[in-house]
Amino acid sequence: KGGICKQVLASEVKIGDEIELRAGMRVALDSEVISGKAFVDTSAITGESLPREVKNGDILLAGFVLKDGTLRAKASACESESALARISKLVELASTNKSPHERFISRFARVYTPVVVILAGLIAFILPFIFDEGFAAGGFEVWANRALIFLVISCPCALVISVPLAFFAGIGAASKSGILIRSSAVLSTLARSKSFIFDKTGTLTKGVFNLNLVCSDKLSDKDFIAHAAHATSSSNHPVAKSLGAAHAKMQPDCKLCGKYECSELSGLGVRAKSSSDELLAGNAKLMRDCSISDFEYNCWHEGSIIHLALNGRYKGHALLGDELKSGAKEMIEGLKNAGINTLMLTGDNEIAAKAVAKELGIDRFYAGLLPEQKLELLERELGGGVVAFVGDGINDAAALARADVGIAINAQDVAASAADVVIINSDIRALSKAFGIAKRSRGIAWENITFALGSKIVIMVLGVLGLAGIWAAVFADVGVSLLCVLNAIRAGRK
């Protein structure tokens, strides 16, 4: 502050304070770069092996390490709300929220333990009278020995240790790839998913729009973009940012002055007012809801369309093109090969949505939706098997929270808090990896349950019949536990 730089604890830094970062330093707080350029190692947080270049306006997460250069950044979160703090909270939740398999083992152990102790007592004190001549004939020593062998064999260590370990190993493998899973229960539920529902913009597409076409016979292209950029200047929506970039490219000397008082209309667009003008920029529904005169819409090009109205009169529309994320098509193909149904929900127009769904091979899609309509359609899908919803923005938070499994891609704040799974970077391919890890962890847990119970039951029967001695009992306890643990560790492979 005041041009003075001093070293302080991360807990003392407030949101908005400027911090200086030098080569070799680990970022302590989530922050936004305000000057400088450098390469940062993001592997601790995102799992990416290659350093990433950051510059003015880019986001730094706590845990990143500067490889070179010097940066000045502005703190965007306090220490308790940083990326590292959120990861720590997720780890704590993962250790307390048990999967159905773990809950089954806990309930099973509460019943199983007293039952086997009672059975061992029956073997030692009752069977000598049934199969021998009682204690006097030396039968007690034989059956007491068999009862002890029975107890050793029946020890449930293999189940109690290896089943939770399979899920913890899976959560660890996911975190190495930049995938944060809230708990082992979430991992188990994700493995049983039958349908994946996707948001479009920012999830399946990059959310970086390029201006392709302006259709207006009432304003020049330059004036149209200037009005649209002024109207949306206070919005963080990807379309608004793209319009601002197009305006800066067309008129680099003309800054967005902020003379308009802007209000965002969820799922519709933006209304901006000044002392003399009112601008509306958004979708066709906004134009109809506001009864804009002369509204005509006959554009059949593929892409996202933003309409503009000035003082109640329609001025035309602009066509914006969004790019698919790298790996999105392969991810959808992988899910479909695994028997997963895919559905896309978007607020974009029907033409743009249809083009994306067709290119990716998505089974069904719904376009022109408001956030509450997305939630209604999600509710309709629930009940037909486990449903996972994949989104990235604040407008997806309700759907992320309502779905059986909410998955946030490169999300911050509200969306990340509402999600059960957070993919820190924007690599959509991590979704297939998360699903694969979940399937593998759940499969290994069932393998351990089946193998442990099956082998113990067989050897217990042999022990009661006198066909299995103490070494067989040791194998049934320690050996089976070791084999199950080694099998569970396989879930930790990336």
Closest of 312, 306, 296, 304 to residue 217, by C-alpha: 296
Pairing mode of beta strands 52-54, 38-41: antiparallel
Query: One of 30, 41, 199, 477 is an active-site residue; which one?
Result: 199
Given a contact cutoff of 8 angstroms between Cβ atoms, the answer to whether 381 and 360 are in contact is no
> Residue 437: which residues within 8 A CB-CB, separation 6 or more?
170, 173, 174, 179, 187, 491
- Sheet hosting strand 205-215, strand order edge to edge: 205-215, 313-324, 304-310, 278-282, 269-273, 261-265
DSSP state of 13: P
How far apart, in Å, are the Cα atoms of 48 and each of 24, 402, 428, 438?
Answer: 18, 30, 13, 20
Give the other-Cβ count within 10 Å of 374's Cβ. 24
**In angstroms, rounded to a whole number, what is the distance separating the alpha carbons of residues 286 and 302?**
20
199 catalytic, yes or no?
yes
**In angstroms, rounded to a whole number, what is the distance separating the alpha carbons of residues 105 and 103?**
5
Cβ neighbourhood burial of 303 (10 Å; 0-12, 13-18, 19+): buried
**In angstroms, rounded to a whole number, what is the distance separating the alpha carbons of residues 197 and 291?**
33
**Which residue numbers are catalytic?**
199
